[in-house]
Amino acid sequence: QVQLVESGGGLVQPGGSLRLSCAASGRAFSTYAMAWFRQAPGKEREFVSHISQGGSTTFYADSVKGRFTISRDDAKNTVLLQMDTLQPEDTAVYYCASKFGPYRSSPAVYPYWGQGTQVTVSS
């Protein structure tokens, strides 16, 4: 009964920025932990970032620390991923995901997923 819809993907040059948005509906957004994952062709889905129910705790994959920032706006039922200093290695389909409970980096424990949005970093 939880629906997630990502937006904001696109084509950007190396060193550029994008802001992804995930809109949630169907359940009380403020009760969910939210996360972003990404998947490139031929690779497994990998963890990118996570934000806790209250928004007070965040986690990032080592590969994006210092470049990406996750945030949430419970009044708008959205979670954002600000991506700066993008590199070709960041090219992937980015997925919004949701679950109850504490931080986990495995996609297997997230029951709710959006459809994904393509991010391409290329000159």
Instruction: Note the pLDDT tens digit of each residue in 38-77.
Output: 999 999 999 999 999 889 999 999 999 999 999 999 888 8
| φ and ψ of 75, to 5 deg | -65, -30
Locate 3 and state its tokens: 């629906």
What pLDDT, in 10s, does the model give residues 95-119? 999 998 888 999 999 999 999 999 9
CB 80 within 8 A of CB 21: yes
First to last CA, the chain: 40
Residues paired with residue 99 on neighbouring β-strands, in sequence order: 33
